[in-house]
Amino acid sequence: MKPTTVLNRYRVLILISLVLVILLTIVMYNMQVDAAKAREDDSITKVVTSTYSTTLHATRGNLLDRYGNPLVANEQVFSLQFNRSNWKTANQSEVILSLLNLIKSKGTTYQDSLPISNAPFSYTISAGADVAIRKDFDKYMEKNDWDPNLKASEVVTLMSEKYHLADDYSNAERRAILGLLYDMEVAEFSVYNPFLFLEDVDMEIITAIRERSFYYSGVEIITQSSRVYKTDVGAHILGRVGKIYKEEYEELASQNYSMNAIVGKDGAEKAFESYLRGINGSLKTKIDAFNNTVEVVSETQPKAGYNVLLTIDERIQAATEEALARRIEEIKVLSEDNPEDYPEDIGGGAAVMMKVDSAEVLAMASYPDYNLASFSEDYDELLENKLTPMVNRVIGGTYPIGSVFKMVTAVAALEEGVITPDTIIKDEGIYTKYRTFQPQCWIYRQNYHATHGNLNVSMALRDSCNYFFYQVADDMGIETLDKWAQAFGLGKKTGIELSGEVSGQRSNVETKAKSSSIVWGPGDTLTTAIGQSYSLFTPLQVCAYLSAVCNGGYYYQPHILKEVTTYDYSSVVVSVQPTLVNTISMSNSTYKAVMDGMLDAAENGTAAKVFENYPIRVGGKTGSSQVASGTSNGVFAAFAPFDDPEIAVFIIVEHGGSGSNIGIIARDMFDAYFNLSTNLAEVKGVNTLVN
């Protein structure tokens, strides 16, 4: 056989072998791919699902005024929350800074709760700081085993190390990042506990996050209801909502609150949290490996919260806030040209109106106040304001009330038999019974040794004669006088639903002993009788006391809750009735003598200028309470109508000078209640020192 033929045969065999090898390889490959696919399909089939639980948030109830006018409602909004399952710790500082810069560029800011200022770093926790914020920070320091006496700058350094922050961040960037990381840790951010970062987010921010969803891994866009304010009044009454603090969660966990819950922080939002909150629902689903829902296991629909109707009248509240602010600002202007009559150091103020037969609060205004809608943006400025706009002075401010206290002294003296309505006391100008303390009546000091002459108790109230009340208090004694002050609810909390109420104090032997080593003397009793000495009362206490005088001795507990309804208003859940706390003994003759004195004060006495030509008969009492430094406070109390009292008001303006300076505020409040428009011209002050 020729060599060429043999070679060709070898070539054919090799070619056939190669073809067979290739075919075999292809077959084997396909078999492996099919097997792998089969295993994958089988795996997906076997690891069918995992169960995923979602909270269905309940809609919070609405806040309304006494007539059903909406004050705070809800709207559906986009919010941002962090999901730990997709959160990348490695670059979290970078992502957080990017996120904070993004929302800032769109006009939104995040208000963290880390109590450290921007550089130069210092603590922002003060004596009046939120207790929950303080306790959260203390627990954070303890958890990390850090010395509580560290400087703020040292804490920032330790936090930077803890969270692995790079050195090239600016101080402002560092503080912003740490603030958010701090909040996340305090809220115990975890797989089972998402962190609610921002509510009511602008659509531009939502779009930007969606466009970079991979970069913002772990940042979820959710929908929820958010509070929307239908009024620009009543900030101190309505209050705010916010993310639950850790300490709050520890107290509320047993009531099925989550660590991400939105709760009332102050005002009515906090007071009526149990009515407003609603009950969350839940959705349990099974999802496959591709996050597709394959089965709804169970679903419980949320139950909306109840609506809360307050006793507040929005129209009167608005008029009260406007009148208080306007008069304070007017006095500031008037003081520039006439500092003798209008004090230059005027401060904040408070005004309150309530129904005398139920103690329903119709309006309570505290000046300065703040805007609920922009609270977060304004927070730093509000915190630095020396006039403390976040304090509700009606329940959180305590003041000596000067001559407005004299009705207590009058009732006590009449009911104890120290005097009768016809008892005459001659004003001698100076009370000279005690060698070491000889106080003067205000008219003697101001009007060239003038006196009020002979007066009975009604006339003494009209003229606000200090001498008269020195005499009756001296005859009565401090124990008896204090007993009656206590009966009228002074120097103790009223029990109103709002948080932040303080008790104040009555001027008595025990109170003085707490702050002075000097024993109680007769002079203390004399000054207590005219509302000075150690007396410190809240405006709400005074208005409640005045109401009890006007209604004949029935002291009702002040309240702001009127009614609770279902979310659809179909049924009433709670209807609040007046709570009678105390019945004070007041004979008809006592009642008439005191009421006549206040009527005469409004028509012919120290309040006459305020209510001149007023179409409704009013009873009133001016006052000027001395303070430790600066101009005296101006105080004013009034009620109307005289013949059948419906409402009582009390007003105090810090360093306002005299009650006559601020009486116009009461007149404006009465105008609102009685739907009048009297357009009173400027009311000139009546000189009253401690009257």
Confidence of residue 686 (pLDDT cuts 50, 70, 90): very low
Specify the residue for token string 């009788």: 529
Asked which of 44-58, 231-245, 551-565 is least confident by mean pLDDT, the reply is 44-58
- What would the pLDDT profile of 546-601 be if each residue is shown by its tens digit? 999 999 999 999 999 999 999 999 999 999 999 999 999 999 999 999 999 999 99
- Contact between 555 and 492 (Cβ < 8 Å): no
- Contact between 593 and 459 (Cβ < 8 Å): no
- What would the pLDDT profile of 409-424 be if each residue is shown by its tens digit? 999 999 999 999 999 9
User: Average pLDDT of 349-368?
Assistant: 98
User: Average pLDDT of 74-92?
Assistant: 91
- What would the pLDDT profile of 156-187 be if each residue is shown by its tens digit? 999 999 999 999 999 999 999 999 999 999 99
The confidence score (pLDDT) of residue 85 equals 82
Give, rounded to a whole angstrom, the gap between the first and last alpha carbons of the chain: 145
What tokens appear for 396 in the block?
């959180």
**CATH of region 314-673, choose from 1.10.287.180, 3.30.70.260, 1.20.120.420, 3.40.710.10:** 3.40.710.10
The confidence score (pLDDT) of residue 38 equals 52
The 3-state DSSP class for residue 106 equals coil
The confidence score (pLDDT) of residue 687 equals 30
Phi, psi of 575, rounded to the nearest 5 degrees = -125, 115
Strand-pair partners of 298: 284
Please give the residue that has the higher pLDDT: either 340 or 549.
Answer: 549
Residues in the chain: 691
Specify the residue for token string 């304090």: 391
In whole angstroms, what is the distance from residue 376 CA to residue 323 CA?
26
pLDDT over threshold 70, residue 34:
no
In whole angstroms, what is the distance from residue 400 CA to residue 403 CA?
9
Confidence of residue 6 (pLDDT cuts 50, 70, 90): low
CA distances from 464 to 416, 441, 468, 514, 591 (A): 21, 9, 9, 30, 18
The confidence score (pLDDT) of residue 689 equals 31
Other CB atoms within 10 Å distance of the CB of residue 680: 17
Question: Whole-prediction pTM value?
Answer: 0.80
Asked which of 42-46, 197-201, 623-627 is least confident by mean pLDDT, the reply is 42-46
Confidence of residue 261 (pLDDT cuts 50, 70, 90): confident
Domain 52-310 in CATH 3.90.1310.10: yes
The confidence score (pLDDT) of residue 20 equals 66
Other CB atoms within 10 Å distance of the CB of residue 323: 23
pLDDT over threshold 90, residue 30:
no
The confidence score (pLDDT) of residue 10 equals 61
User: Average pLDDT of 236-251?
Assistant: 89
The confidence score (pLDDT) of residue 294 equals 82
Asked which of 86-90, 450-454, 668-672 is least confident by mean pLDDT, the reply is 86-90
Confidence of residue 223 (pLDDT cuts 50, 70, 90): confident
What tokens appear for 152 in the block?
């703020």
In whole angstroms, what is the distance from residue 266 CA to residue 501 CA?
11
What tokens appear for 235 in the block?
């900030």
Specify the residue for token string 């009297």: 678
The whole-chain average pLDDT of the chain stands at 90
In whole angstroms, what is the distance from residue 395 CA to residue 399 CA?
11
The 3-state DSSP class for residue 559 equals strand
The confidence score (pLDDT) of residue 293 equals 75
Q: What percent of the chain has pLDDT over 90?
A: 70
pLDDT over threshold 60, residue 127:
no
The confidence score (pLDDT) of residue 2 equals 56
The 3-state DSSP class for residue 561 equals strand
- What would the pLDDT profile of 277-303 be if each residue is shown by its tens digit? 999 888 887 877 665 778 888 888 989
Q: Which DSSP state fits 2? A: -
- Contact between 115 and 123 (Cβ < 8 Å): yes
Shortest CA distance to 655 belongs to which of 332, 320, 325, 321?
Answer: 332
The confidence score (pLDDT) of residue 27 equals 59
Q: What percent of the chain has pLDDT over 70?
A: 90
The confidence score (pLDDT) of residue 290 equals 61
- Please report the DSSP string for 493-532 in residue order: ----SSTT----B--SHHHHHHH-SSPP-HHHHHHHHTT-
pLDDT over threshold 60, residue 103:
yes
